[in-house]
C-alpha cells in the first residue's frame, strides 16, 4: 500500500543537478563564491525568487485538492450536486470556492490498490454522502484485491488483478484504468 503524503517535493532537472554539484540551483554559481550563507538553497534573494517561480515543482495536498474541486466545478462526480460558496469579502466578491465542509477529494483507484496519489486523473470530487458509499465499495474491492494479490500467483499489480477480476470491472472505468496503465509504463 502506498503511504499518503501531505506534499511532494520536486525540482526541475537542472536545479536538482546544480544542487548535487553544490551550486545555486537558479544561476549555477558555486557555493564557494556565495556572499550569502551556504546552508541556504540559493545564492541570493533574486535567485530564490527565480527558483520558486521556475524550478520548484513541489505539490501539496491542499493545493491539489482545491484544483480538483475547481476542475470539477464543485460538483460531486456521483450525485451531480454542486457545493460552491460565493465569496462576500470585497476583495473576492462574487468569486466561487468549494464548500470544503461538504466535499472530499477522492482517489478513484484507492491507494491501497496501487492508485496514484498525485495523478490528477485518479482524483475526483465527491460529496460526503457519496464518499461514504464509494468507501464501502472500495473496502470490499481492497479486500478482494489483497486476497488475489496475496495468493501465490503472478498477480502483483492492479493491472493484473483488474484484468482477472470481474468485481473490479464494475467499479473502475476501463478508460481510466487504461490511462493509468499507459502513464505507468516504464
- The pLDDT tens digits of the residues spanning 22-73 come to 999 999 999 999 998 888 889 999 999 998 888 876 778 888 888 899 999 9
Q: What integer pLDDT is reported at residue 184 of this predicted model?
A: 42
Residue found by looking up cell 470556492 in the block: 97
DSSP symbol at 55: I
d(CA 123, CA 76): 12
3-state secondary structure of 125: strand
Binned at pLDDT 50, 70 and 90, residue 20 comes out as very high
Q: What integer pLDDT is reported at residue 102 of this predicted model?
A: 92
d(CA 165, CA 152): 16
For the chain, percent of residues with pLDDT exceeding 70:
73
Q: Does residue 179 register a pLDDT over 80?
A: no
Q: CB under 8 Å to 20, separation ≥6 — which residues? A: none
Task: Identify the CA nearest to 104 among candidates 7, 81, 26, 165.
Answer: 81
- What are the grid coordinates assigned to 90, written together? 470585497
Under 8 Å between Cβ of 60 and 7: yes
Summarize the confidence of residues 139-144 as an average pLDDT.
85
Burial of 119 (0-12, 13-18, 19+ CB in 10 A): middle
pTM: 0.60
What spatial distance separates the first Cα and last Cα of the chain, rounded to whole Å? Answer: 20
Summarize the confidence of residues 161-166 as an average pLDDT.
54
Strand partners of residue 127: 103
Q: Over the stretch 73-93, which tens digit does the pLDDT of each residue have?
A: 999 998 899 988 787 777 777
Residue found by looking up cell 473496502 in the block: 139
Q: What integer pLDDT is reported at residue 32 of this predicted model?
A: 94
Amino acid at each position: 500500500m502506498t503511504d499518503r503524503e501531505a506534499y511532494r517535493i520536486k525540482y526541475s532537472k537542472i536545479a536538482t543537478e546544480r544542487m548535487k554539484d553544490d551550486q545555486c540551483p537558479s544561476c549555477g554559481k558555486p557555493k564557494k563564491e556565495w556572499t550569502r550563507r551556504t546552508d541556504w538553497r540559493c545564492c541570493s534573494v533574486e535567485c530564490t525568487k527565480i527558483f520558486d517561480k521556475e524550478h520548484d515543482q513541489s505539490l501539496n495536498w491542499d493545493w491539489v485538492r482545491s484544483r480538483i474541486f475547481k476542475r470539477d466545478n464543485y460538483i460531486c462526480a456521483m450525485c451531480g450536486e454542486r457545493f460552491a460558496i460565493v465569496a462576500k469579502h470585497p476583495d473576492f466578491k462574487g468569486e466561487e470556492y468549494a464548500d470544503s465542509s461538504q466535499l472530499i477529494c477522492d482517489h478513484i483507484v484507492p491507494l491501497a490498490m496501487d492508485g496514484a496519489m498525485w495523478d490528477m486523473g485518479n482524483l475526483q470530487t465527491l460529496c460526503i454522502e457519496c464518499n461514504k458509499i464509494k468507501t464501502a465499495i472500495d473496502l470490499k474491492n481492497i479486500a478482494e484485491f489483497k486476497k488475489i494479490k496475496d495468493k501465490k500467483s503472478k498477480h502483483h499489480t492492479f493491472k493484473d488483478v483488474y484484468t482477472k477480476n470481474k468485481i473490479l470491472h464494475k467499479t473502475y472505468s476501463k478508460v481510466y484504468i487504461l490511462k493509468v496503465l499507459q502513464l505507468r509504463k516504464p
